[in-house]
Amino acid sequence: MEDFLYLVPIALALGAAGLGAFMWALNSGQYDDLDGAAERILFEDTDAPVRERDAASR
């Protein structure tokens, strides 16, 4: 029973720390553009049609 005197405050502190980290992430804009990164990964700046890329490498 004495263990609960330590475990409950530790669990509450970890929960509050997790909630604080989540709130910080929301306020700092971590979740503002969810689709942008998913679309940016599909395209590169050097993407070009195959014919242009082949002609440039010759």
Amino acid 2: pLDDT: 87
Confidence of residue 54 (pLDDT cuts 50, 70, 90): low
Q: Where are the alpha helices (DSSP H) in 1-58?
A: 2-27, 34-40, 50-57
| Residue written as token pair 């509050």 | 16
Amino acid 23: pLDDT: 96
* Token pair belonging to 57: 């490498």
Over residues 8-35, the pLDDT tens digits come to 999 999 999 999 999 999 999 888 877 7
Amino acid 34: pLDDT: 75
Amino acid 24: pLDDT: 96
